[in-house]
A and B are shown apart, each in its own frame.
Chain A
């Protein structure tokens, strides 16, 4: 399958910005996604970006896509304790009807 890689842990102070990075290998990806998993729960779609876009902003969330480097990032402004969760980067390949996930980044927000 396609490879999606992300760092495993991020610690951030409450009120600061969080930046979660992700790289992928499939150049035919049509959409890239960010999912959030809170403890004991399933994954929830946070935001997504189409592959021909560079940036997408949605309230406190900013997604940046560098298609040349196959690099995706998620910035969370004014990080709150409720943002503590595991964040998954995922890419949807055009031909294989599959969402490929990274290993997930555990974000811990400290007071």
Chain B
């Protein structure tokens, strides 16, 4: 089954404790992206990747890192999480433009 898999589904952590949210897709898509969803703001892009070893900033990249060492994986790293990074995070991938396939989301709470 074609899918984008994110883990974990829920995460509660404390300020400053490094964490990684994993994302994997099995569709051989070149384009992958991370979004955060906040009430009233819709989805805002954090980072995206056009291909292996090619990443670029989205609209809200501060406090986040990504890597794309393999085509299928695109982890999101929070080196020192802060409470304003409490949000619902989505990973997505695409073969063509804006036809994105989304993961089920990761609800992150930073205390």
Q: Which residues between 30 and 57 of chain A lie within 8 Å of chain B, taking CB atoms?
A: 30-31, 33, 35, 41-45, 48
B104 at the interface (CB under 8 A from A): yes
* B2 is an interface residue with CB less than 8 A from chain A: no
Complex interface: chain B residues within 8 A of A98 (CB): 33, 45, 48, 58-59
| Chain B residues touching A, majority SS | strand
A10 contacts B by Cβ under 8 Å: no
Instruction: Given A48-B99, A92-B98, decide whether A42 and B42 contact each other with a Cβ distance below 8 A.
Output: no
Query: In the complex, A48→B97 CA distance in Å?
Result: 11
Q: Which residues of A contact B45 (CB under 8 A)?
A: 1, 98-100
Indicate if B105 sits at the interface (CB-CB under 8 A).
yes
Of A4, A43, A45, A102, the residue contacting B90 (CB under 8 A) is A43
Interface flags, A82-111, vs B, CB<8A=1, else 0? 000000101110000111111110000000
Determine whether the beta carbon of A43 is less than 8 Å from that of B102: yes
Interface residues on A, range: 20 to 34
Across the interface, B97 reaches (CB within 8 A) one of A42, A43, A92, namely: A92
A77 at the interface (CB under 8 A from B): no
* Contact of B43 with A101 in the complex, beta carbons under 8 Å: yes
Q: Would you call A41 and B48 a contact (CB within 8 A)? A: no
Does B50 touch A at the CB level, under 8 Å?
yes
Chain A residues within 8 Å of B56, by CB: 97
Q: Is B75 an interface residue (CB 8 A)?
A: no
Q: Which of chain A's residues have a CB closer than 8 A to the CB of B40?
A: 8, 103
Complex Cα–Cα for A44 and B102 (A): 7
Top 9 closest A-B pairs, CB basis? Answer: A42-B102, A92-B98, A103-B42, A101-B42, A101-B43, A99-B98, A43-B102, A1-B59, A42-B104
Given A97-B48, A98-B59: 14 more A-B contacts, CB < 8 Å? A8-B40, A35-B100, A41-B105, A42-B104, A42-B105, A43-B90, A45-B99, A48-B98, A48-B99, A88-B43, A92-B98, A98-B45, A101-B44, A102-B42
